[in-house]
Structure 1
Amino acid sequence: MPEGLESIVGRHYSTGKLIELTVAGGRIAAVNGLAEDIGSEVKGGAESGTGIGIGVGTLSDAGGGIPWLAPGLVDLQVNGSFGIDFNTLPLRMEDVSGITRLLQAGGVTSYCPTLITNSSAAIGEAAAAFAAAVRSDPAAAAGIAGIHLEGPFLSPEDGPRGAHPAEHICPPDWEAFVRWQDAAEGLIRIITISPEWPEAPSFITRCSDAGVIVSIGHTAASPAQIREAIAAGARMSTHLGNGTHLSLPRHPNYLLEQLAADELWGCMIADGFHLPPSLLKLILRMKCEQAILVSDAVSLSGMPPGHYRLHIGGEVVLTEEGRLHLAGNPGLLAGSAMQLAEQVAGLACSGLAGLDEAWNCASLHPAGLLGLPQAAGLAPGAPADIVSFRRDGARLKLLDCWKNGVKSRCSVE
């Protein structure tokens, strides 16, 4: 192998065929098929060491001891993880850099840190912290695909508002958004709003013209307002089926209107708690290649089970199964605590999607929405954002992760 080139051998996550990826200069230089008689002699080093074990029901592994290779995961909604909340100030640059590296250890090679409804000053301060991290840390610059601003232009109604603080909910304000975007040094790539506000259509158009993806979420909008938002340029739905009223009109309603809109990419949380299998199946079938898995992870994602206190939600319990609920009311969820790779495995385990389809929902699809070159997947010329893993009965074990061709182990200490 010439100097500067790396060979990575494994089974293609979608075709099952044995391939060799040649990596050079941070990109995939070539993809070659291999004969099936190489046994367990795998170049590229994904054979030993510990990885992250993820339960996947009874998925079988026809790959034997040879690892599988897949594109890096892309998470469009991360509120925090590993004990750090992006919305708790002050937000330190080292925390941003640390989470970026830990997410990569879980197979997430690109992500959108998510800022939720807060005071105008707090949003600006947090946005500036991400800008500083991207400016100072090459790893953060490579891993952060842009900020997702979820609020404060959401529904003020209980139910759709979710846990977003009511005192900071307000109508869309372009001047405020420009201040936050300036503080973020242009990093805001997605904004979730409710189109029920009279100011929404013009605001959506201005965002769209500026290259910012507008997502519909936490809304009590009428179907007509949903359609008007789409006509103005809205392109995505934030965690479809969550952030809604407990009961909806039979029809029409804002959930069905978004499901039926071919223009909207649909995001879903597949942690086994936020949505029933029937709705996950509906989103997958309606949105197809525009279906996106998001973790919507909060600060307790990646933390051990136990009792915790959150600044939003108060006393909460994280169960062994990964369910996060209010301590005083186990029936109410307190956010998502499951990392994206776990949700991929869970979706595949459910039988609603094959592992390749589930993986694409968390990699190629979100990369395509953002216009990232990672949308090319495991193809020549694509960035060498690669994850290797094994399937072993009830386990999916992440082994190694490459970000722009730089390899790291998939282990979280």
Structure 2
Amino acid sequence: MLEIFIQQTQAMRRHVEMLDALFKSATEGIIVVDSWGAIQLVNPKAEELFGYDEDELIGKKIEILIPQRYARNHVDHRMNYSQHPKARNMGRNLDLNAKRKDNSEFPVEISLSPFATSDGEYIVSFIIDISLRKKQEEALLEAHRQIQSLNADLEERVQQRTRELAHALEEIEQSKQEVMRALEKERQLNDMKTKFVTIASHEFRTPLATILSSASLIGRYTHAEEDEKRQKHVQRIKSTVTNLTEILNDFLSLGKLEEGQIRNVPIVFPVTDFCKELVDELKSVCKENQQIIYTHEGDSEVCIDRHLLKNVLINLLSNASKYSDAGKQIFLRSSKKEKTVRFEVQDQGIGIPEQDQAYVFDRFFRAHNSGTIQGTGLGLNIVKKYIQLMQGEIQLTSQLNQGTTVSLDLPNC
């Protein structure tokens, strides 16, 4: 029996020695407290972690190792835990800090395990300093932030380059469109030159032939009794020269408009006197027994570009005479209302086919029923450009074989 007792005592001693060695050589801090939170045991690693000697901790409340700001809440948590003790990690998903003797703090992970002896109930705490891990985590977080910053910077650069590329493409597209517009303008100019040559050769050939023929015939009428025949051919020459002048004026006006040489310069003048003088001036271009009847409503004083207005009305009244038969009346009306001056030119001529009316202001366009009546197709196009230059509006209404009315609304400065 003695031998067995000795063997059991030796085994127990070895067990205690092994537990003591394990306790003292553990790489984790180990602190044992009683149910009241008083420290009972401290291993060397715990002394190292907290900077205390064992005798400085034994009997002290565990809160001595807790930062002051958490100490009060820790007492409540400890008391609640002692009523329902169980093995668990302390502060799961929370950042825990412990306090050293010098009041410095360090991050820790703590796991709790309750146990009981004949002396009472105890709780063993296993404490790990995770400062290095925290530094590594912070380093990883910082690296992640830097990567995010680099990604954001890279994304911004990509977006900036994308915007610059889009802007460059837009400029290229604009340049392309400008080139296309220039080419189109060049094409239109070439078309205009071609039409000009065609129209000029056609329109000038007949009048020049007429002038040549009349001039030749005049030379044959040498006797006084043939004066009437001479005057007839002289009048034909005058009329033909007038037509040629009108054609040349159309081309010159178009060129000046295209080059921006014509400006709108309003002046104040009595519109009634102006229109009466114009009617007298145009009597020579009217056909036999044609008469221009002028009427006005409202105040006579207007503020309009006199030169541009004269060109417009001469063109419209000449057209009214040209496309109306002899003996037909032509009406010129003017009226002033507030800040607008209105003009109407109405004839009783051949009219314009409905399908042609949408194109009458286009360059070189002539209505299908114009027949052999001389014209360049530029008159109404020039008139519209003059009206736009004066910031006015122009409207045309026409009925076939009944006549045409052109209305002008011009701002009164």
TM range (shorter): under 0.3
**TM-score normalised by structure 2 residue count:** 0.19
User: Max radius of gyration: which structure?
Assistant: 2
Decide which structure has greater helix share.
Answer: 2
Decide which structure has greater strand share.
Answer: 1
Return the structure number with greater relative CO, CA threshold 8 A, min gap 6. Answer: 1
